[in-house]
C-alpha cells in the first residue's frame, strides 16, 4: 500500500511522521531508516521527532539515492550500486578526454581537450570546472533521464542509434557515456531500478529483501523513476510518502508535461491525504 501525505507546511508533515513512528514503532530487531532530501533537513527532522516523541529515536537518515542503492543491493548483492558516484564519474571523464578527442562528434569540447593535451594532461581550473559540470549533468541523467541512459547502454559506441533524439552538438555525450562504461565496472543503479520495476513479481523471497515499511520524507524533487520504483514496491509492502508540496496542483502540472504517473494501477492501493 502506498500512503501519500501532502502539505505545504513542513511542521505538519514532520508531526505526522513523528506520530506514525510513535503509534506504529518498528520491531526492536528491525533497523529503521528514513529517507530525507538532504543532510540539513534530516537533522532538523530528527530534532522534531525527538521533541514530539520525548525520546531520541534510534534510526538512520538517508538520502533517496543512498537508501535506494541499499535496497537494490539486497536484490543484487554482488553489484556495487555506488560505482557511478560523483568522484568516479568525474575522474572517469578526465581519463576519457584523450580517447574522446578521437571522435569527430567531440567538436564542442575540442578547445578544452586540445588545451589539456597540449599542457601534457595538466588539469587547470577551467578543465576541472568543466568536468564537474559534465559530471553533474550525467548524474541528473541517471536520476531524471533513465530511459536515455538505458538507450545508451543498449547500443555499441559506433552505433548511430546512440544519437537518437539528440542534436549534433550533443553527440559527444553518449560517446563519453560509453567510454565511462568501460572504466566503471558496473552498470548505473538506475538500470537495476528499471529491472526491478519490470520483474519484481518474479523475484524470489522478495519479502525477505525489503523492510515491512518504508518512510520517505521528500519535497517535489523526487524523480519519476523513484516514484515508479516505490509505487511498484508498495504493491507488496507499506510505503509512506510524506510530501512537502508548494501547491496542490503541482503534480497535475508535472503530469501534464511529463505524462501521467501510473498510481492508478488496480493492483495497488493508494491513500491520499492532503493536509493544510
Q: What pLDDT score was predicted for residue 264?
A: 45
Grid cell, residue 86, equals 560523483
d(CA 46, CA 64): 16
* Region 86-184: CATH code: 1.10.10.160
d(CA 269, CA 251): 19
Angle (CA) 34-40-45 rounded to 5° is: 45
d(CA 77, CA 20): 31
Q: Let me know: does 236 contact 206? Beta carbons within 8 Å.
A: yes
Instruction: Tell me: pLDDT of 191 over 50.
Output: yes
> Which pTM was predicted?
0.81
Q: What pLDDT score was predicted for residue 55?
A: 66
Positive/negative CA dihedral, 217, 70, 178, 163: negative
> In whole angstroms, how far apart are CA 43 and each of 30, 36, 48, 126?
21, 9, 9, 35
Q: Tell me what the pLDDT averaged over the chain comes to.
A: 86
**How many CB atoms within 10 Å of residue 251?**
18
Q: Assign 112 a pLDDT band (cuts: 50, 70, 90).
A: very high
d(CA 245, CA 252): 12
Q: DSSP readout, 161-205?
A: GGGTT--GGGTHHHHHHHHHHHHSSS--HHHHHHHHHHHGGG-TT
d(CA 226, CA 231): 8
Instruction: Tell me: pLDDT of 190 over 60.
Output: yes
Domain boundaries 2-79+206-274, CATH class: alpha beta
Domain range summary for the chain, segments of one domain joined by +: 2-79+206-274, 86-184
Sequence-separated (6 or more) residues with CB below 8 Å from residue 259: none
Q: What pLDDT score was predicted for residue 268?
A: 41
| pLDDT over 90 percentage in the chain | 57
d(CA 30, CA 212): 9
Q: What pLDDT score was predicted for residue 261?
A: 45
Amino acid at each position: 500500500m502506498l500512503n501519500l501525505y501532502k502539505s505545504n507546511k513542513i511542521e505538519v508533515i514532520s508531526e505526522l511522521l513523528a506520530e506514525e513512528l510513535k503509534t506504529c514503532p518498528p520491531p526492536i530487531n528491525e533497523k529503521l531508516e528514513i529517507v530525507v532530501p538532504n543532510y540539513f533537513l534530516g537533522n532538523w527532522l530528527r530534532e522534531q521527532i525527538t521533541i514530539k516523541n520525548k525520546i531520541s529515536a534510534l534510526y538512520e537518515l538517508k538520502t533517496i539515492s543512498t537508501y535506494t542503492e541499499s535496497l537494490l543491493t539486497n536484490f543484487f548483492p554482488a553489484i556495487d550500486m555506488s560505482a557511478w558516484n560523483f568522484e568516479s564519474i568525474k575522474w572517469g571523464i578526465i581519463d576519457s578526454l584523450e580517447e574522446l578527442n578521437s571522435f569527430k562528434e567531440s567538436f564542442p569540447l575540442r578547445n578544452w581537450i586540445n588545451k589539456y593535451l597540449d599542457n601534457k594532461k595538466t588539469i587547470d581550473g577551467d578543465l576541472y570546472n568543466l568536468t564537474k559540470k559534465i559530471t553533474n549533468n550525467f548524474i541528473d541523467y541517471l536520476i531524471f533521464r533513465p530511459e536515455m541512459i538505458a538507450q545508451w547502454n543498449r547500443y555499441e559506441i559506433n552505433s548511430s542509434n546512440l544519437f537518437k533524439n539528440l542534436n549534433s552538438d550533443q553527440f559527444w555525450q553518449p560517446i563519453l557515456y560509453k567510454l565511462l562504461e568501460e572504466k566503471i565496472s558496473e552498470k548505473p543503479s538506475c538500470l537495476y531500478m528499471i529491472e526491478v520495476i519490470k520483474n519484481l513479481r518474479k523475484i524470489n523471497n522478495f519479502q525477505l529483501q525489503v523492510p515491512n515499511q518504508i518512510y520517505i520524507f521528500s519535497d517535489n524533487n523526487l524523480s519519476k523513476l523513484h516514484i515508479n520504483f516505490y509505487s511498484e514496491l508498495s504493491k507488496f509492502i507499506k510505503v509512506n510518502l510524506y510530501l512537502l508540496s508548494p501547491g496542490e496542483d503541482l503534480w497535475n502540472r508535472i503530469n501534464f508535461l511529463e505524462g501521467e504517473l501510473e498510481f492508478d494501477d488496480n493492483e495497488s492501493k493508494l491513500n491520499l491525504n492532503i493536509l493544510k
